[in-house]
């Protein structure tokens, strides 16, 4: 089959250089995700994009040189461009990169990071077409997927061989709004912790957990999500969220042993767990620290409240398995001719 007709859009790739390296991994038994690991993932994702006909790939220039080293010496029939974002090595880097990729008309964005990285994008590009690859500490939203296939899936969408609508759906996200009108969101969980501190990067002390609002309550996950998932499972396709209210250990409640971090189980005491309908408004009262997708971000005073709801209006997450199956059914990789691999004699000039 010939290359798909229509406009071929660029693919963006964002590799968070800081993901998978924080102290929570050291405090548990998690392995670090090195810059070299991410370099190899970016390299394979680029190859996957190029193999499906993407002719323009946007990467991010940053001090760790992850993307730069990933494509050094790589000869592919696609233009590779670097975005200068003025890297500060914080979440704003991801957001600036995402906004620049939206302005450039990217048909898909491959993201290497954890829940927090995808959250940063969702805050500035709510319906971003994402292909998230897991390289973070909290990894419910991104996928454990071979980067070659992630690149191919993103490429099939960007080239027009597949529509975004047929290989993705809007993700559920947790929306939060203060009485002042200030808003934020979480892609997996919003948690009130009583007695914690803003900016604390250690694993959560289960004694401090009071409320957990979950867009996804996955039993087979690590972090806050299995607190709901081990009692009221709720996946990406389910049209509801989950609320868990926890009580101090001295007050009893139902005990639940939960994998709070990789290699670290803790006991939480459950006072209530229930489904919440999409769009249902909850009110969380202070005092406490609010954490979003693992990051403790701001304080809720004793007399403050915040409205919380789960809605299906988040980023469109590309499903690589569905994309590759449709590609097979439609012959999207058939009849494309010779593939040039720079490691084979002659590389791009071999014929």
Give the Cβ contact number of residue 325 at 10 Å: 12
C-beta of residue 122 within 8 angstroms of C-beta of residue 91: no
Average pLDDT over residues 209-216: 99
Task: Report the pLDDT value the prediction gives residue 36, as an integer from 0 to 100.
Answer: 95
176-209 pLDDT, tens digit each = 999 999 999 999 999 999 999 999 988 899 999 9
CA-CA distance, 288 to 294, in Å (whole number)?
15
**Residue 5 pLDDT class (50, 70, 90 cuts):** very low
Per domain, the residue ranges of the chain are 11-171+317-349, 173-311
Q: Which CATH number fits domain 173-311: 2.60.40.10, 2.60.200.30, 1.10.260.40, 3.40.50.300?
A: 2.60.200.30
**Does the pLDDT of residue 351 top 80, yes or no?**
no
Residue (of 347, 335, 343, 318) closest to 111 by Cα position: 318
**Does the pLDDT of residue 291 top 60, yes or no?**
yes
Q: Which residue has the higher pLDDT, 346 or 193?
A: 193
For the CA atoms of 87, 153, 22, 245, the dihedral, rounded to the nearest 10 degrees, stands at 120
- Class of the CATH domain delimited by 11-171+317-349: alpha beta
Percentage with pLDDT > 90 across the chain: 83
pTM of the model: 0.92
**Does the pLDDT of residue 349 top 60, yes or no?**
no
222-248 pLDDT, tens digit each = 999 999 999 999 999 999 999 999 999
Phi, psi of 327 (to 5 degrees): -60, -40
Task: Report the pLDDT value the prediction gives residue 53, as an integer from 0 to 100.
Answer: 95
Give residue 53's Cα distance to chain centre: 25
20 Cβ contact partners less than 8 Å away, ≥ 6 residues apart: 32, 33, 113, 114, 135, 136, 137
- Do the strands 129-134 and 316-318 form a parallel or antiparallel pair, or are they unpaired? parallel
**Does the pLDDT of residue 72 top 80, yes or no?**
yes
For the CA atoms of 78, 11, 150, 189, the dihedral, rounded to the nearest 10 degrees, stands at 160
44, containing H or E segment: helix 35-51
Task: Report the pLDDT value the prediction gives residue 201, as an integer from 0 to 100.
Answer: 85
**Does the pLDDT of residue 345 top 60, yes or no?**
no
89 Cβ contact partners less than 8 Å away, ≥ 6 residues apart: 17, 18, 62, 63
16-33 pLDDT, tens digit each = 998 876 666 555 666 778
């Amino acid at each position: 089959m010939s290359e798909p007709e229509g406009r071929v859009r660029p693919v963006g790739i964002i590799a968070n250089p800081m993901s998978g390296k924080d102290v929570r991994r050291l405090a548990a038994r998690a392995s670090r995700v090195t810059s070299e690991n991410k370099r190899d993932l970016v390299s394979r994702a680029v190859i996957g994009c190029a193999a499906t006909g993407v002719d323009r790939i946007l990467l991010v220039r940053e001090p760790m040189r992850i993307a730069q080293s990933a494509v050094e010496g790589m000869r592919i029939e696609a233009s590779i461009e670097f975005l200068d974002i003025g890297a500060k090595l914080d979440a704003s880097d991801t957001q600036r990169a995402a906004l620049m990729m939206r302005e450039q008309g990217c048909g898909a964005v491959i993201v290497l990071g954890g829940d927090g990285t995808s959250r940063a994008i969702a805050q500035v590009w709510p319906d971003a077409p994402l292909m998230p690859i897991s390289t973070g500490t909290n990894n419910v939203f991104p996928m454990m997927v071979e980067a070659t296939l992630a690149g191919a899936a993103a490429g099939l969408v960007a080239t027009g061989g597949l529509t975004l609508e047929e290989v993705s759906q809007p993700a559920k996200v947790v929306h939060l709004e203060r009485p002042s009108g200030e808003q934020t969101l979480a892609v997996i969980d919003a948690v009130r912790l009583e007695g914690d501190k803003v900016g604390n990067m250690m694993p959560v002390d289960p004694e401090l957990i009071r409320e957990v609002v979950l867009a996804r309550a996955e039993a087979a996950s690590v972090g806050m999500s299995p607190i709901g998932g081990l009692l009221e499972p709720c996946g990406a396709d389910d049209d509801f969220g989950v609320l868990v209210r926890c009580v101090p250990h001295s007050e009893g409640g139902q005990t639940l042993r939960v994998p709070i971090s990789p290699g670290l189980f803790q006991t939480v005491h459950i006072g209530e767990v229930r489904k919440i309908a999409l769009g249902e408004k909850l009110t969380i009262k202070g005092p406490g620290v609010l954490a979003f997708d693992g990051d403790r971000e701001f304080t809720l005073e004793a007399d403050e409240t915040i409205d919380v709801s789960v809605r299906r209006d988040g980023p469109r997450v590309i499903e690589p398995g569905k994309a590759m199956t449709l590609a097979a059914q439609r012959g999207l990789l058939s009849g494309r001719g010779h593939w040039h691999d720079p490691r084979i004699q002659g590389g791009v000039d071999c014929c």
